[in-house]
Structures are given as C-alpha cells and as structure tokens.
Amino acid sequence: MNHAEAYEKLISHSKETAYVGSAMALLGWDERTHIPEKGHAHRAGQLVTLARIHHKMATDPIIGELLPVVEGSELTLDKLAVEAVNIREWRRAYDRSVKIPERLAVELTRAAAEGQAAWEKARPANDWDTFRPYLERIVELKREQADALGYEVEPYDPLLDGYEQGETARDLEPIFETLRAALVDLLQRIQGSGRQPDSSVIRGNFPASAQAAFATDVAQAMGYDLKAGRLDVSAHPFTSGIGPGDVRITTRFGEDSFRECFFSVIHEAGHGMYHQGLPLDHWGAPFCRPISLGVNESQSRMWENLIARSRGFWRFFYPRAQALFQDLKGVGLEDFLFAVNEVKPSLIRTEADEVTYNLHVLLRFELEVMLLRRELTVADLPDAWNERMSRYLGLTPPDYTDGVMQDVHWSSGSIGYFPTYTLGNIYSAQFLAQANRELGDVQEMLSRGEFVGLLGWLRERIHSQGSRYLPRDLVHVITGEDRNPQYLISYLNRKYGELYGLGG
C-alpha cells in the first residue's frame, strides 16, 4: 500500500470515529439539558457502550499499521500542511489511546456519567457525603489514567497535556506565580481605594425571557450563528460542538440580576464562534479541531470580558438594554459599567470578576496537583478548599454547595482542565493587543457595533487554523513572542486603575 492509499484509509477511519464521538457529545448535551430525572441510569449505559466502541476504534491496530506508511512520506515534508498536521495528531492520539486499557476507558466514562448525575442532585442539596464516593472513584481512576499514560515528573502532567498539549505543571507554576503576585497587589490597591460601585443598579427584576432575548440578539450581532446552534438552560453553562452546523450553548438564569445570564451567554458564544469558524470541510480529521482548551478559552474570555465588559461595547448596546429592562432606564452608562466591572472577592468562580477570577483557578490547580500526588484525599478536600479560599480571597464558604461542590468539572472527570482558563485569559489579552495593532482601535469599532473586523481577524488567525499550530507556537505566530502574562497584567491594571482611581 502506498502512502496516498494509507492516508485515505486513515481519513475514513478518523471520520467514522468522529461520528461516534459526535453521538456521545449529543447524548452528553442532552444529559445536561433535557433528560428526564429517571433517565440517567439508562444514559450512563448508552455512553458506556459508545465509549467502548469509540475506544476500540481509537486503538484499532490498523491505525498502528497505517501510520508508519504515511510518516516520513512526502505528505509530511511541510510540517504545517493539512496532511502533516493530521498525521502528527493521529500519532499523538493513537499513542495515548493504546496506553489506556479498554476497561479503564469504559470505567472513566461510567464514572463521569454517574458522577455528573450525582453532582446535579447533591449540589443543590448541599449533600457532600452522598457525592464524595463518586468523586473518590473518579480521582482514583484519573490517577490510574495518569500512570497508564506515563509521566516524567508529575502525575498531573499527562492529564493536563490532554487539554493543553505540551504543557506541564512545572512550566505553568512560574507563570501563575507571576500572575498571582500581580493580582494580589492589584486587589489590595482596589480594596484600599475607597471607591466602590453601586452594584444594586444591576440587581432588580430581569425576566428570564427578556434576558434570553437580549443575550441571544447580542451573541448573533457578534457573529454566533443560531442557524448552526441553539441556546438552552443547564445547571452549569457549557458549549458542545456536536458537528458542522450544530454548535450548542447553554446558560442559567437569575432573574434578580442582569449579570449572570448575559455574560454566561457571551462567554459560551465565544466558544461557539470558535467551533463554527473551524475548517469544517476537514471535519472528522484532527485538523478540524481546536488545538487546545486554553486557546478555546481565550476566545470565550476575550468576548466575555475584554469585549463585553468594555466601554465601547456598551456605548452601542446599552440603549438597547435600557429599552428592554425597566430597571436600567434610570441608570447612567458609567454607573452601569462600574457595576458590571465591580471587583469583589466572591465564592463562585463563574461569577468572579476579572481581577479575582484567576485566584479561583490557581486554587483548583493546586488542589488537583495534590490529589494526583496523593498528598490530599478527597475526604480532606473541603477543608483544603476552604483554607485556600480564606488565604487567597479572604472568604470561607458557608457550605459545600458554594464551596468544593460548585464546579461540574470534577464530577465529570475533567481533572487537568482548570489551568486552561487562566491560560485562556493570558492568551486573550495578548491576542487582543495584537488585533489592536493590526486593525486599529478595536474599542472604536465596538462603539459603532462593528464586529465583523474583529471576528474576521480571529477567524483568519485562530479559528481557521484548527490544530495546525501547537498552542505556544500559535501564540508566537500571531504575536511574535511566547505567551506573556504581562499583557493581561497591564490590561487589568489599566482598566481597573481607571475605574477605581488608582493612578499610576
């Protein structure tokens, strides 16, 4: 068999495997949105069966036979060509998959399905004791997965690498420490400024139907295609890229506040636009995938914070919001802007402001590393969580619901995921700084309701590139330098220095 024939067989196999993964994604979306309460046990069985099929396809010996035929062939001469990228990513995925026994792959899927269902019932009931055995099972399986994948230094590294290719805990620690020091300093200066917004202006009566209509209109204006997506409600907002023409987002509502629903929709729309902008004519092959969760997160965090909390953005959209929400009619733009950008340590990560958000992430990163090292048990997790919350943010959760049980990630087995949020914040500030250099003043564009230029830039530079570049290489190609937390630090100091009158 020649390399061209081998490549076509790999493409065909890859697409068939992707269809199974897409079916699993659809079942997972339904489990978190519309499934009847009594349907979870059956859904777990469906997902386990598909996980077994998917694992067999991902570890099919034919892949191991075909890859050597295409590796080193003329298809790989240009390392950035579509064919070379697919071959590179097939090799990576195959080598990771064959290290995981089918039993472990199936058990991980079962534990995630059961754990998530248990979390959705236990969290609102503040029932840690019921949920804990599920999490203990998940953590033990993730430790087994790390051992199976192998690592040089940290058992955490192979799990992190699954979300952010090429990253290690040791590489992230100095970046996170630089960021932590800057954030703590800025937070202390803000708290000492004596200036506070009137946050009551964004609390009141904000009907869910009106919130959904406004947030959907804004997301569409930014570029999220509702003909290729939809908005639903879930316990924890998320985005699911089912396939071409089907990228779904969710939110949750709090009718006494404007902030929670709106910014969740914009965040998820940022993810959605990335998925909709991928090179879909290559769907089913690795090239048509986000290269990492950090890059993916850079899109959601950019739209949610750097764009949708900015003055230019609200110069355009605020009159529309005032026309729709009675409780905003007497609130001035500057007072509204200050309120939606209020810096106030809070218990909930998804509701955290830009200054304190990454402290929430660093807390979770540290606990995950300790769990994988076996330096921390799941039973001791609530106390460890509360101690760090007190040390980093000056708050102690009153219960499990708003403490250790608040995130869906651990219940679904997504250990290693959290650092990608902070990487996404770092990337987003660096990317937007480059966009301003190339496009001109982005804020002026936003104030006129012009999003095509920015979205087009993101589509060309990031979305359409799929998995061509590894994350750090992509940052370097776009900005000419390695990832640099100083862009985020400078942005935060400039923005919040102005809002809180910090000077300097």
The CA distances from residue 185 to 87, 179, 424, 466, in Å, are 46, 10, 21, 37
Tell me which residue of 372, 356, 328 sits closest to 157, measured CA to CA.
372
Which is catalytic among the residues 268, 304, 342, 366? 268
Amino acid (1-letter code) at residue 497: G
Apex 393 CA angle, 138 and 390, nearest 5: 70
d(CA 251, CA 32): 11
Q: Which of 94, 10, 90, 29 is nearest to 56 (CA)?
A: 94
Alpha carbon dihedral 242, 247, 252, 256, in 10-degree steps, equals: 180
Nearest to 295 by CA among 461, 457, 495, 130: 461
Q: Which of 491, 161, 432, 175 is nearest to 293 (CA)?
A: 161
Burial of 344 (0-12, 13-18, 19+ CB in 10 A): middle
The residue behind tokens 């005032």 is 322
How many Å apart are CA 115 and CA 110, to the nearest integer? 8
Annotated catalytic, 268?
yes
- CB distance 300 to 432 below 8 Å: no
User: In whole angstroms, how far apart are CA 219 and each of 212, 349, 375, 441?
Assistant: 10, 22, 43, 21
Of 413, 467, 419, the closest CA to residue 100 belongs to 413
Q: Max Cα separation, the chain?
A: 74
Which residue type sits at 402? D
Distance, in Å, from the CA atom of 23 to the CA atom of 25, rounded to the nearest integer, reads: 5
Decide if 277 contacts 464 (C-beta within 8 A): yes
Rounded to 5°, the CA angle 181-184-186 comes to 105
Secondary structure of residue 330 in the 3-state scheme:
coil
Which residues carry out catalysis? 268
